[in-house]
Each structure stands twice: as structure tokens, then as C-alpha cells.
Amino acid sequence: MPARMAPTEAPHPSEVAEVLHRMMPGDEEPIALFRLYAHNLPLTEALRAWGSYQLSRRLSLGLRDREILIDRICARCGCEYEWGVHIARFDSLPPAPPKP
């Protein structure tokens, strides 16, 4: 089996640290998935921009529906890490108010 690339470790170069900081809320340490992307800064920047829309309230799906969809896809595909991240972070959110 080929070797897997390991996520980057702190301390990161300043430009990488800045992007990783923008990818996480507050002062939380970046998750391993984001630190894996950090090997390629242009990819990391592109994924941050895309993810900031996909994980925002601007998405046409409501927050709760989006998380249910992500959880189901992760479970069906066997993506334990991503499923765990979303369960830990998002499934404790209160239900969204009804749309007008």
C-alpha cells in the first residue's frame, strides 16, 4: 500500500497559518483534513472559498437539511472521519426556524 501524506504540523509558515486560521472558527486548531490541504496553498485557498459558501447559511439548503445530507453521504460512503467532524460540530445545532 502506498504511503499516505500526513497533515502538516504547527508551526506553519505565516501564509499557511493565515489560511488555516480563516478556515476554523475562533481560535480552534485546524482539523487534520484542512492541514492535509495545506501542502498545496493554492488548493487550500480554493477549498476555503468553496467551503465557506457550502458551509454557510447562504447555501440554498437550510443548515439542518445540509447537515443531514452530509451525515447520510458520509455514512453511506464510510467516511468516518468527516462524519465524526460533522456530528461533533453541527448536530448539536437547534432546529432552524420555518421559512416564510
Phi first, then psi, for residue 32 (nearest 5°) are -60, -40
Q: How far apart are CA 53 and CA 47, in angstroms?
A: 10
Q: What is the pLDDT of residue 49?
A: 85
Round the average pLDDT of the chain to a whole number and report it. 82
43: left (phi over 0), alpha (psi -120 to 50) or beta: alpha
pLDDT tens column, 24-40: 878 888 888 889 889 99
One-letter amino acid at 98 equals P
- Cis preceding linkage at 30, omega within 30: no
Average pLDDT over residues 14-21: 92
pLDDT tens column, 33-64: 889 889 999 999 998 888 888 777 788 888 78
How long is the chain?
100
One-letter amino acid at 92 equals S
Q: How confident is the model at residue 72 (pLDDT cuts 50, 70, 90)?
A: confident
| Contacts within 8 Å (CB) and 24+ apart, 73-77 | none
Q: What is the pLDDT of residue 2?
A: 66
